């Protein structure tokens, strides 16, 4: 924790967890989809569902999905802006198991048809955790460029990915591996100290046994 987690962030109120964290979840999910959002189905859990409305959680999530950051003063008007831009959205309640009280599930479809399902929690002070991507476990704080590789659980994929990162001079900050069963679906979540070049990500996508590659870039003004 740095002193700028103590004083800061600069944010639109009223709640760091219900508003700033919600905006960051929306923004991060949009970065993960890497496409403008055409439609979003939003499922609120727990405290997000119970007190979200009074905290502007709905407006903050939509704002984030539109590409606004937690300090964007247009957050209070985000629903109107979404209507103007033709982004469709719906809100409903959901009961998720074993998650933080401030959790949301997002089912997103991009304007070019790309799809993504994200489960994310706002864990306090504006910090977030992406818990699931497309139904598979993840554990992402969204403070680092993050590479998420879904692959078939078979030997060699971890070394392919890590060798590529080494070759591109990208240092790995943290790395997590999950799978649903032996030989089933596996996922690698790699938080990096540097941005991963986009051509390297395209190369990964073509590898045999790699099902899907998702990349969270922290670069500003990311045009998709």
Partner 1 sequence: MSFRSLNEIIQICTLEDRSFWEVILEEDISDRGTTREESLSRMQSLYLSMKHADATYEADLKSASKLVGGDGAKITAALEKGILISGPFIGEVMSKALKMGESNACMKKIVAAPTAGSCGVIPAILLTYEEQYHISIDKMLEALYVASGIGEVIAYRAFLSGAAGGCQAEIGSASAMAAGALAYLNGGDADSIIHAAAMSLKNLLGLVCDPVAGLVEVPCVKRNVVGAVNAISCADMAIAGIRSKIPPDEVIDAMRNIGEAMHKSLRETGEGGLAATPTGQEIALIIRE
- Shortest CB 97 distance to partner 1, Å: 20
Phi, psi of 64 (to 5 degrees): -60, -40
Among positions 51, 109, 185, 194, the unique one binding partner 1 when judged by CB under 8 A:
51
Among positions 125, 137, 178, 179, the unique one binding partner 1 when judged by CB under 8 A:
125
Q: Which is nearer to partner 1, 11 or 190 (CB)?
A: 11
Does 80 sit near partner 1 (CB under 8 A)?
A: no
Residues in binding contact with partner 1, number by CB under 8 A:
34
CB-neighbour burial class of residue 98 (10 A; exposed 0-12, middle 13-18, buried 19+): exposed
Does 171 sit near partner 1 (CB under 8 A)?
A: no
Helix H or strand E segment including 126: none
Going by C-beta distance under 8 Å and a sequence separation of 6 or more, which residues neighbour residue 14? 55, 56
Stretch that binds partner 1, among 51-59, 86-94, 158-166, 174-182 (CB under 8 A): 51-59
Helix H or strand E segment including 198: helix 198-205
Phi, psi of 7 (to 5 degrees): -100, 115
Q: How far is CA 78 from the centre of its chain?
A: 19
Q: Is the dihedral of CA 215, 204, 163, 116 positive or negative?
A: positive
Among positions 54, 86, 197, 209, the unique one binding partner 1 when judged by CB under 8 A:
54
Among positions 24, 30, 45, 55, the unique one binding partner 1 when judged by CB under 8 A:
55
Binding site for partner 1 (CB under 8 A): 1-17, 19-20, 47, 50-51, 53-56, 59, 71, 73, 75-76, 124-126
């Amino acid at each position: 924790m740095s002193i700028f987690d103590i004083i800061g962030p600069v944010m639109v109120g009223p709640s760091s967890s219900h508003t700033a964290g919600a905006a960051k979840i929306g923004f991060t999910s949009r970065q993960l989809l890497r496409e403008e959002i055409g439609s979003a189905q939003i499922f609120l859990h727990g405290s997000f569902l119970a007190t979200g409305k009074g905290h502007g959680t709905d407006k903050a999530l939509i704002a984030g999905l539109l590409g606004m950051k937690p300090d964007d003063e247009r957050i209070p008007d985000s629903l109107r802006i979404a209507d103007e831009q033709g982004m469709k959205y719906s809100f409903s309640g959901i009961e998720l198991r074993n998650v933080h009280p401030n959790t949301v599930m997002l089912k997103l479809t991009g304007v070019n048809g790309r799809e993504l399902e994200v489960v994310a929690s706002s864990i306090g002070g504006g910090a977030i955790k992406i818990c699931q991507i497309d139904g598979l476990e993840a554990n992402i704080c969204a403070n680092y460029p993050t590479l998420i590789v879904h692959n078939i659980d078979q030997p060699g994929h971890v070394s392919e990915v890590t060798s590529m990162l080494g070759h591109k001079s990208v240092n790995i900050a943290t790395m997590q591996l999950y799978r649903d069963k032996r030989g089933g679906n596996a996922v690698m979540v790699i938080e990096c100290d540097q941005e991963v070049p986009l051509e390297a990500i395209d190369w990964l996508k073509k590898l045999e046994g790699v099902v899907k590659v998702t990349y969270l870039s922290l670069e500003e003004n990311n045009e998709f």
